[in-house]
Amino acid sequence: MSDRQEATGEQILPRFAVGGRRALLGALVGIAVTVALLSAGTARLVSILSHEHDPGGGILLVGGLLLLVGAASGLRVLERRVAERLGQDYVHQIRKELIRGALAPGRNPSLGITVARTTNDLNSVRNWVTHGIAGAVSGIPLILALTAALWFMAPFLALAVMGPLLVAVALLALLSRPTYEKARALRKARGRLAGQITDTVNAAMAVRAAGGEERELGRVDRHGREVAATAVERATLAGSLRATAIGTASATAVAVAATGAFMGLDRGLVAGALTVVSMISGPVHDLGRIVEYRQSYRAARQSIAPALHRPLAGITYDDAAQADCTGLVVTGLEVNGNLMPELAAAPGETILLASASHADVEELFEALLGLNTAGPDSTASVVLNGKSLPAMSPSERRRCVGYAARGLALERGQIGRAIRYRSPKASDAQLARAIQGTGLGDTIARLPKGDLTVLRRGGEPLSTPERAKVHLARATFGDPPLLLLNHIDADLDAQGVDALRDILTGYPGIVIAATNNPALLPSSHRIWPGAQREPQLIG
């Protein structure tokens, strides 16, 4: 990929004309050609009608015109439906890849920016596909076909139509660059506003405690005014584009009428030509919108393309055994530039994770979860029961590894779904055992909908200890071979801590835990990395 392609994002958005979308594009082309033929037939009948003096023949001609106009109108409705399906299908694919990218290891996008990408930016993509591409596919062939038909009727009238159209194309090309720049500036301003609002709302308690409401409102006000000013400037350019297209349609009609009058052309011929002009006026009007939507799409693409999910180079999902062993083997792992001692743990062992910083603990857990995106030169190896964790598929990894951490938010959905997240097809009996085993029984019982209660905004209506119990129930569901606990006890209440202690007693798999309370762990636990002195634990 060239640097220019990299910068524009042209080559890293999902391909457009593939699969079912190719068929929809073909349908749009077919509709456009059919409408062009119907329009040419309409123009011809109008020309004949202007010379018809027999009432019976006139009635037949009017009936034929109504049929042609009705058929063309029906095809326009179908065209709009097909265009919307085309746009929605493409946007749906991009939306999924944006969320997949946001969930990928090493990504931590701002909530506000993510919302802006999946709403404003994707709406720009939809407008370009639904109104821009579809409008060009249906409108440009119609303009060309009718202009060609007019050429056979009267070349001078065709030239009268082509003149204003060529001038309009030049003006639209001239306005396209500044329109893109303003669309880009508006997108950036909206992103800053979305990020500011999200961060302000998330920090609402801290802002209120420090008496900073007016200060934060002032920052939102500044960003909002910037958005408003940029939007007005962009609207001015968009208005210029549309005014150019509308003026072109009017100028075309004037040029045809004037040419017919000055050259003394047959009135029936002029009437047919004006009918052609009226039929192409709609597509000509759309030319301004097409250019506007194109530039908005280009601006949105600059933001969307880098955020899309990209498979990690060199990582393949392979079930092949990496070693003939049972248990966990970690070798060559570097954390913050320091080489970790090798670790070999057998089922039933409990390991206390000791480190000097919170960042080190997080990096270690990422590696143990198989999410570490080390480069191809890394010699790190994390092997569980003979298989490389990073090379496992997501579905296999979730069955093999359970993870619970302090402060984790819960995804939107029912409580039962959250607990069974690692084993979606687990039975209700297994769910009930997990609920009771982690002390969630009383919580579920007091909720009107029980485990069908829908969690929102990170875990509401559950309290922090209750959310921690849900995470613990999920992590231990099905007794995975590797259980990772990252200070989960800090969020648990006394009942939850007792449940955790019971779970760890005799746990059949390997447990690696970071905690400020090592007394929770079985007395036989050992420390990693090994130390001759009491380790400094993470708070």
The average pLDDT across 184-202 equals: 82
Same domain, 73 and 27: yes
DSSP state of 406: T
Same domain, 208 and 244: yes
Same domain, 341 and 452: yes
How far, in Å, CA of 427 to CA of 417, rounded?
Answer: 11
> How many C-alpha atoms does 481 have within 13 Å on its Cβ side?
20
DSSP string, 137-156: HHHHHHHHHHHHHHHHH-HH
Same domain, 230 and 377: no
Same domain, 70 and 154: yes
Residue 484: what pLDDT?
93
> In this structure, how many other beta carbons lie within 10 angstroms of the beta carbon of residue 327?
19
pLDDT in tens, 381-427: 888 888 888 888 888 888 889 999 998 888 888 898 989 888 888 88
Residue 323 lies in a domain: no
User: What's the whole-number average pLDDT of the chain?
Assistant: 80
Residue 310: what pLDDT?
55
Same domain, 382 and 429: yes
- Rg for the chain (alpha carbons), in Å? 33
pLDDT in tens, 264-288: 777 777 777 787 787 788 888 888 8
Residue ranges of the alpha helices (H) in 339-480? 358-368, 394-400, 415-419, 428-437, 441-446, 464-476
Same domain, 335 and 461: yes
Reply yes or no on whether the pLDDT at 43 is more than 80.
no
**Residue 69 burial (CB < 10 Å; 0-12/13-18/19+)?**
middle
Using DSSP's 3-state secondary structure scheme, residue 526 falls into strand
The average pLDDT across 97-118 equals: 62
Report residue 539's pLDDT band, with 50, 70 and 90 as the boundaries: very low
Residue 4: what pLDDT?
39
Q: What tokens were used for 301?
A: 């693409």
Residue 287: what pLDDT?
86
Reply yes or no on whether the pLDDT at 532 is more than 70.
no
> What CATH number does residue 13 fall under?
1.20.1560.10
How far, in Å, CA of 318 to CA of 344, rounded?
Answer: 22
Using DSSP's 3-state secondary structure scheme, residue 16 falls into coil
Q: What angle do CA 375, 376, 382 make, to 5 degrees?
A: 80
Total structural domains in the chain? 2
> In this structure, how many other beta carbons lie within 10 angstroms of the beta carbon of residue 310?
12
Domain ranges, residue 216:
3-307
The average pLDDT across 521-532 equals: 76
Residue 236: what pLDDT?
93
Residue in this structure with the two tokens 């038909």, named with its chain if needed = 149
Share of the chain above pLDDT 70, in %: 85
Taken as a whole, the chain contains a residue count of: 539
Reply yes or no on whether the pLDDT at 304 is more than 90.
no
Report residue 538's pLDDT band, with 50, 70 and 90 as the boundaries: very low
Residue 528: what pLDDT?
86
Residue 456 lies in a domain: yes
Beta bridge partners of 484: 403, 512
Residue 88 lies in a domain: yes
In this structure, are residues 496 and 438 in contact, taking their beta carbons and an 8 Å threshold? yes
Same domain, 142 and 182: yes
Residue 356 lies in a domain: yes
Reply yes or no on whether the pLDDT at 106 is more than 80.
no
Listed in sequence order, the residues at least 6 apart from 443 whose beta carbon sits closer than 8 Å to its beta carbon are 462, 466, 469
Residue 130: what pLDDT?
87
Residue 534: what pLDDT?
38
In the chain, the amino acid numbered 298 is R
Report residue 113's pLDDT band, with 50, 70 and 90 as the boundaries: low
Report residue 226's pLDDT band, with 50, 70 and 90 as the boundaries: very high
DSSP state of 324: S
Cα dist. 222→159, 217, 218, 219, 228 in Å?
52, 9, 6, 5, 10
Between 43 and 182, the more confident residue is 182
pLDDT in tens, 56-76: 777 787 787 788 888 888 888
Reply yes or no on whether the pLDDT at 319 is more than 80.
no
Residue 536 lies in a domain: no
CA dihedral 78, 82, 84, 85 (to 10 degrees): 140
With DSSP H G I counted as helix, E B as strand and the rest as coil, what are the percentages for the chain, rounded to 5?
65, 10, 25
DSSP state of 524: T
Report residue 318's pLDDT band, with 50, 70 and 90 as the boundaries: very low
Same domain, 282 and 370: no
Same domain, 404 and 291: no
Residue 316 lies in a domain: no
Residue 482 lies in a domain: yes
Q: What angle do CA 6, 306, 369 make, to 5 degrees?
A: 125
Report residue 95's pLDDT band, with 50, 70 and 90 as the boundaries: confident
> What CATH number does residue 360 fall under?
3.40.50.300
Beta bridge partners of 528: 353
How far, in Å, CA of 52 to CA of 485, rounded?
Answer: 89
- 394 upstream amide cis, omega within 30 of 0: no
pLDDT in tens, 164-190: 889 988 999 999 899 989 988 988 888
In this structure, are residues 33 and 141 in contact, taking their beta carbons and an 8 Å threshold? yes
Cα dist. 148→145, 158, 199, 273, 386 in Å?
5, 7, 58, 11, 71
Residue 536: what pLDDT?
37
E strand or H helix that includes residue 454: strand 454-455
The average pLDDT across 72-92 equals: 87
Last residue of a domain, one of 307, 340, 374: 307
Last residue of a domain, one of 256, 277, 307: 307
> In this structure, how many other beta carbons lie within 10 angstroms of the beta carbon of residue 116?
22
Same domain, 257 and 286: yes
> In this structure, how many other beta carbons lie within 10 angstroms of the beta carbon of residue 181?
15
Query: Poorest-confidence range of 6-15, 299-308, 328-337?
Result: 6-15
Same domain, 128 and 24: yes
Q: What tokens were used for 145?
A: 């076909």
pLDDT in tens, 473-521: 999 998 899 999 999 999 999 999 999 999 999 899 999 999 888 888 8
Last residue of a domain, one of 275, 307, 339: 307
Share of the chain above pLDDT 90, in %: 14
In this structure, are residues 157 and 269 in contact, taking their beta carbons and an 8 Å threshold? yes
Residue 533 lies in a domain: no
Reply yes or no on whether the pLDDT at 530 is more than 70.
no
> In this structure, how many other beta carbons lie within 10 angstroms of the beta carbon of residue 429?
8
